[in-house]
Every structure is written in C-alpha cells, then in structure tokens.
Amino acid sequence: MTASVAPLSPTTRTPSPLAGARARGAVTLMFAVNGLVLGGWGGSLPSLRDKLAIGDGQVALMLFAAGIAGITSMQVGGRLSDAVGARRITLVALPLLLLTAAVLALAPTYPVAVAGAVLLGLGNGAMDVSMNAIGVQVEVARRGPVMSSFHAFFSIGNLLGAAAVLGLAAGFGLSGGAVVTPLLLTLVVVGAVVLVVLARIAPVAAPVVHRSSDGARTRVPRAAYVLGIMALAFGLSEGTAVDWSSIHVTDVARVDTTTGAVGLVAVSGFMVVIRLLGDRLVTRFGRRAVVRFGGACAALGYLTVTLVSPLPLLVAGWALVGLGVGMIAPQVYAVAGHLGGGRVLAVVVTFGYASFLAGPAVVGFLVRHLGIHHAMAVPAVLCAGIVALAATIPREDRDLA
C-alpha cells in the first residue's frame, strides 16, 4: 500500500497560487538567502579564527557541532514541514539562521562561537529540508521542473556571501579578525529584509499526509534509501570538489596558491551555469537522463584530474566535475520530494549533508596514503555508481504519485 500524498499529486486540477511567478520568486529568495548566509559563514571562518585566536582543530570542532545539529534538525524539520506546512518551518528557521550570524559576529569567546555554530546547524538543517519541500510543491503546481534554478540561486548566494569577504577587505581596508563582525552583521540586515519580504509573499505549502487508503500511517518507502545512497555519493563528490580542488591544482600543477584557486572557481562557476540550464534539460530529456549524464560527466572529470598534470587539463577536469555534480542534487532532491514530501527529503538530504561534511575528511585520509593525485579516483568511482543507480529514477514525476 502506498502513501497518500495529496498535495504532491501532479494530477490535481485546481489552480494553485504555488503555480504563479510570485511563489517561484519567493522560493528563489529562500534558496538565495540561505546560500548567502552559509557562504558568508564559510568565508568568515579564517577571520573568526584570527579574532578568537583559535587553531584549526577548534575550527573543526565548531564545524562538527554545526553538522551534528544540522543533521538532527533535518529530521525534525522534514516531519514538521509535512505536518504543518513547509512555509511555516522556513519562516521559523530563517530567523534562527540570522540569529546565528549575529551571535557569530559578536562572539567574544570560543564557547559562544560554538553555541552559534550549533544554532547555525539547527537553523540551516530545518530550512534546507523545508525550502526544498516548498520547491517541490511549486514544481508540481507549475507542471514543469524548477528545482535546478532554485539550487542555482543557492549557489549564486553562496558565492556572493563568500565574495563579500573580499569586498570588505578591498573596500574598507579590513583584514584578519576585523572582517567577521561587519560581514556577518551586514548579512543579518540583508537577511532580515528578505525575511520581511518572504513573510508577505511566501506561498502556503499544504501539509503532506502519509496515509494508505485504509487510514494506516505508511512507512518511508525503500526507494528513499536508494536516493540516499545517491546523495551519499554526490555529497562526497561535491564536498571533495569544494574543499580539495584548489589544493589539488596547486600541488599537481605545481603552481602558487593564488593560481591554484582557479580549480574551485571552475567547479563553482560550472555548477551555477548547469543549474541555470538544468530545468530546460530536464524538460527535454527527463530527470533520469540528466542524473545519468551528470554522474558520467563528474566521473569523467574526476578521472581526468586523476590522470593528468598540466594546468589547463586539470582546470578542464574540475570544470567537468562542477558541471556533473551541479546536475545531480536538484534532481535527486526533487524526486525525493515528489516521492514523499519533507519526510523523504529529510532522509535523502541527511545522507547528502553528512557525506558532504565527512567526505572531504575521508578523502584527506586517502590523500595521505595514496597521494593527492590518485585519491581523486574514489569520487570518480562513486560518480560512476550514480550512473547505475539513476536507473531507479522514474521517467516521469507522475510515476511517483
């Protein structure tokens, strides 16, 4: 017996506000502001380290605390999104995320910063699941794919948040620990403005009921765990690209660290480009084909950076990785949402999030034992596995209803 998820049924004929441009714009804002705050947080970490005079081990502990809090919050947020509507959860989680930024901006001591990191995990975990849940409902109402564009604006926000560090340094002559407070407080103000706008225009997302035809509560479908394995693979692959691409280019091509950063630029830039184009590709070829091509593209990119050394070829390889992994997450999350709302999204996003956080550390272990050049073969194999698992994705979203 399958779950009855009425709000996600693409056969519903009643016109919905979720289908309008206003709803799409609101969800785009959710993804963008979430990416902006997280990008600012990531970009401010070196400055926060200097301000609090802490070491890399303490920074790692702070990130670990945020990760554990985020994973916990995803489970609660996913179920609450189904129970009371994802809009409410998003509009509670975003202020918590902004409070986090304020706490971190003003943190006078390391324990306060750790508390701020825990708040960040709680706010981001709930918002991550709930905004994806709303995105899926908008997609159903519009009868066409939009999830890729939402994730594109998350990536754009992330880049802008990280770039704000450079902007403050260049525009006001700030450096070191002096950057973190004005940066994060600026993001709080921007986020507060977005929150006011969202409170007025964010669409109402209906609760999702997980009941069979005889009224019994249904279990999480097994397909959710297959999607979770795919999320595990692309989470590690994306996390490795974000955290290791610049170091890889620097060490393998034997260039300076500034030039080596072109590896991450290639990954991030091509992720944004493909996500902006992704909805058109899904409309034309279907989710299964897009995920398969994304896995193959990322696998080829990782294979390239494993085998070559010249700088142009390395950059081309990392561009292929960005192109590939950028296609996969929006589609896997969309399928999860169509399959069973926030509850299934919580499972899949948790797999991806945990892998994104832990994967780079695993790759770091491999780097020490295999060398940085050959360690990249591991994500290549995982991306190839995504190509095989993509066969489980239905050709049409209506097959999930």
> Is the domain of 185 the same as that of 234?
no
> Is the domain of 45 the same as that of 139?
yes
> Is the domain of 105 the same as that of 196?
yes
Q: Give mean pLDDT, residues 204-220.
A: 67
- Three-state DSSP class for residue 390: helix
- pTM, full prediction: 0.84
> Is the domain of 191 the same as that of 260?
no
pLDDT at 168 over 80: no
> Is the domain of 167 the same as that of 274?
no
Is residue 210 in a domain? no
CATH of the domain at 327: 1.20.1250.20
The pair phi, psi for residue 245, each rounded to 5°, is: -60, -45
Domain of residue 274 covers 223-395
Burial of 325 (0-12, 13-18, 19+ CB in 10 A): buried
User: What are the tens digits of pLDDT across the range 143-162?
Assistant: 889 999 999 999 899 888 87
> Is the domain of 157 the same as that of 17?
yes
User: What are the tens digits of pLDDT across the range 169-210?
Assistant: 666 666 667 778 888 898 999 999 999 999 999 988 777 766
Residue 211 β-bridge partners: 4, 217
Is residue 216 in a domain? no
Burial of 300 (0-12, 13-18, 19+ CB in 10 A): middle
User: Residue 7: its pLDDT value, please?
Assistant: 43
Domain end among 201, 232, 249: 201
The count of structural domains within the chain is 2
User: What are the tens digits of pLDDT across the range 63-81?
Assistant: 888 888 988 999 888 888 8
